[in-house]
Amino acid sequence: MFKPAIIGLVGFILIGLGIAALLFVPEFLQKSIQKKLVLIEGSKAFKLWEKVPLPIYNRFYFFNVTNAQAIEREGAKPILKQIGPFTYRVSVAKFAVRNNDNGTLSYRERKSWHFERSLSITDENQLITTLNTPLALTLTLIQGASPTVRVLVTLALDAVTEGFFIKRTVRQLLFEGYPDLLTTFGPLLNPGIPSNNGRFGYMFPKNNTDDGLYTIFSGSSNINLLNMIERYNGRDHLNFWSTEECNSLNGSTNGQLGPPLVHNDGLGHGHHIKQLLQQQQQYNAYQTNENAEVNQDYNPNEQFYEQPPYIKLFASEICRVLHLRYNTTHEPYPDLPVHRYTFDETNFASAADYPPNECYISKLPDPAPSLLYSLARNPPSSSLSSTLSSLTSPSSGGLSSPSTSSAPSSPLSPPGGSTLILRPRREPFASGVFDLSACRFGAPLLLSQPHFLNSHPIYRNSVEGLAPNDSKHSFWMDIEPLTGSTVNMAARFQLNVAISKAPGLFRYRNIPDIVFPVFWQEYHFEFTKDLAQQLIDLRSMPYLVSSISFYSFLSIGIILLIISVLVYALPFLKIHNLEINGKPIQANLNTLTKAPIEDDREVLSRKASSNCSGDGIDNQGNHSTC
């Protein structure tokens, strides 16, 4: 029979094990789950990563121009009407996957688009009256050309163009493309511009192609680096911008999967957010006109243990890394809390409003002076090669805009007697748009949020028909913190063209110099109910196991403690009970020892017998009747 002390000790041990299970089992199981996220060929995580099982949709909304003739002839304010969505299902599959010795994977990712009529407003044959983008691009690019090329291209424009606005089907505007003679001018003005066999389309020829070679961390050496980009096209940095910081890929992912956001040891998101926090503090200082000091001893693990304030998303189409800011935690599905990250407005802020963005330089040519003025000052003697080199030379510091300053009243004469034309400079774009010219061969393409959401009012006021709405037009991502999986995502951007005309183009003299919205698109996906339930079960397992262990050990431990107390205290309770009932102690003890109860006479008789010797003489030597 176990002693009460041993039973009580076992009970205490079990209670301690229950408390330990509650405190340490969740973290242990979380780490075990996170180890299963490592991208090892043949694993479930690898298969899901290799071919995304989610339904991904790319929706396009075009701005139909309803007063095209009035704009071209009279310079009227453009009136736009949104038509959409035109929905395409996107298939994403990785190929040419290669394991590297340093814990990284290299791969390419092929995307293909398939039109979904049932999810679209109409079919792809819908005609859209839209901007003649090849013409707008040509008018901008010739401003960096020599007077000779400008004269030739200007004369050709009247003969080969339909006008500043054209009618094309959605199919032609996107993936199929359409033939346009102006596409042949692109390589002439900038050798880097692809001709695409004389066809133009905003998504042509991207269907069923990849966007480059990625090298990412598999998570085998450190789970907090999972899916972070180490190299893109063989380089560990970009080469489009003016500073190392803006060209850096550190800490960025492609948005499909990221490292876990919980239990960060400082090598994952937390390792890269210090610099972003410093930038945000600088931005807040500029906004409040105060001098904020950055805490150089900041430890990201101390304050942002569960959700880093920023995540970094690399977008190859725009040649840069975007920052998404932590917004809130919510449950898109019951029992599945996620962290929502939204588009940080500083991404598209001007350098004047946010100086760190000064690194995003523009490659738009400065506006050309009057053609007759240029010919008078610079006779057409420059060669085509010098024209091309002048076109591709970088412009000055900040971002450029269609607005220009006036030409100087007199030229400058440098030493040697030759004559220079002092070209006007472009004014920087106001906040809310991003100049893509540096990664799009000098083309005047600008990116913004749809309907110029969170942009300077000047853009929205230059046209009619826009109605920005945060719920419809914002960019957000929902990330499950335990696994780092992107549960839901709506990436929304608007493509705009900066209209800028060279002097001397009589036909297009009335076209306003504005940022013209062409279309906006939404790249959207969300977890299916089955995948969401799997993630819910995976999330709940550590807490379920720890809770069951805690209550089981606690219950058994408490029961054993109660038993030990009862075993120890029961004899005393019975003694006390017999005394209360008036029974003698000896009888009580006999009862406890389960001995038979003897009456007083039997006790006295046995006592007397014990005092007699065998011959009838007691212990004192006297005769007795024993």
When mean pLDDT is compared across 219-228, 288-297, 468-477, the lowest value belongs to 288-297
Condensed to tens digits (0 to 9), the pLDDT of residues 347-373 reads 999 999 999 999 999 999 877 665 444
Q: Specify whether 87 is located in the same domain as 1.
A: no
Is 39 among the domain residues? yes
Interval 472-498 mean pLDDT: 95
Which residues neighbour 453 within 8 Å (Cβ) at sequence distance 6 or greater?
Answer: 468, 469, 470, 473, 474
Q: Model confidence over 510-550: pLDDT tens digits?
A: 999 999 999 999 999 998 888 888 888 877 766 667 677 77
> Domain check: are 159 and 274 in the same one?
yes
Using one digit for the tens of pLDDT, what is the confidence trace for 24-52? 766 766 677 777 889 999 888 899 899 88
Alpha-carbon span 148 to 142, nearest angstrom:
10
42 and 165 in a common domain? no
Mean pLDDT of 118-138: 96
pLDDT surpasses 80 at 421: no
Question: Is pLDDT of 321 > 60?
Answer: yes
Q: How many distinct structural domains can be found in the chain?
A: 3
Predicted pLDDT at 615: 54
Estimate the crossing angle of helix 147-160 against helix 384-392, to 10 degrees.
90
Residue 532 lies in a domain: no
- Range in 174-178, 465-469, 613-617 with the lowest mean pLDDT: 613-617
**Which stretches of 498-584 are DSSP H helices?**
529-580
* Residue 539 within a domain: no
Q: Which of 392, 390, 402 is nearest to 430 (CA)?
A: 402
Distance of CA 227 to CAs 146, 291, 343, Å? 47, 37, 21
- Residue range 179-225, pLDDT digits in tens: 988 887 777 777 778 888 889 999 999 999 999 999 999 998 888 89
Residues 623 and 492 in one domain: no
User: Do 369 and 502 belong to one domain?
Assistant: yes
Mean pLDDT of 138-152: 81
**Average model confidence (pLDDT) across the chain:** 78
> Do residues 224 and 82 share a domain?
yes
Same domain, 579 and 471: no
Contact 470, 453 (CB under 8 A): yes
Distance in angstroms (rounded) separating the CA atoms of residues 535 and 529:
10
**Quick one: 472 and 437 in the same domain?**
yes
Report d(CA 402, CA 136) in Å as an integer.
12
Whether 415 is covered by a domain: the verdict is no
Residues in the chain: 626
Is the separation of the CB atoms in 147 and 167 below 8 Å? no
Residues 357 and 373 in one domain: yes
Q: What is the pLDDT of residues 379-412, one digit of tens each?
A: 444 433 333 333 333 333 333 333 333 333 333 3
262 pLDDT higher than 70: no
Indicate whether 326 pLDDT > 80.
yes
Same domain, 67 and 45: no
Q: How far apart are CA 253 and CA 39, in angstroms?
A: 14
**What is the band of 97 on the pLDDT scale with cuts at 50, 70, 90?**
very high
Are 607 and 499 in the same domain?
no
Question: What pLDDT is stored for residue 489 in this prediction?
Answer: 96
Residue 589 lies in a domain: no
Residue 120 lies in domain:
55-406+423-527
Residue 401 within any structural domain of the chain: yes
Q: What is the pLDDT of residue 237?
A: 95
Q: At residue 293, does pLDDT exceed 80?
A: no
Does residue 157 fall inside a structural domain?
A: yes
Are 123 and 159 found together in one domain? yes
Question: What is the pLDDT, as a whole number, of residue 308?
Answer: 73
Residue 76 located in a structural domain:
yes
Q: What separation in angstroms does the CA of 488 have from each of 51, 471, 527?
A: 17, 14, 6
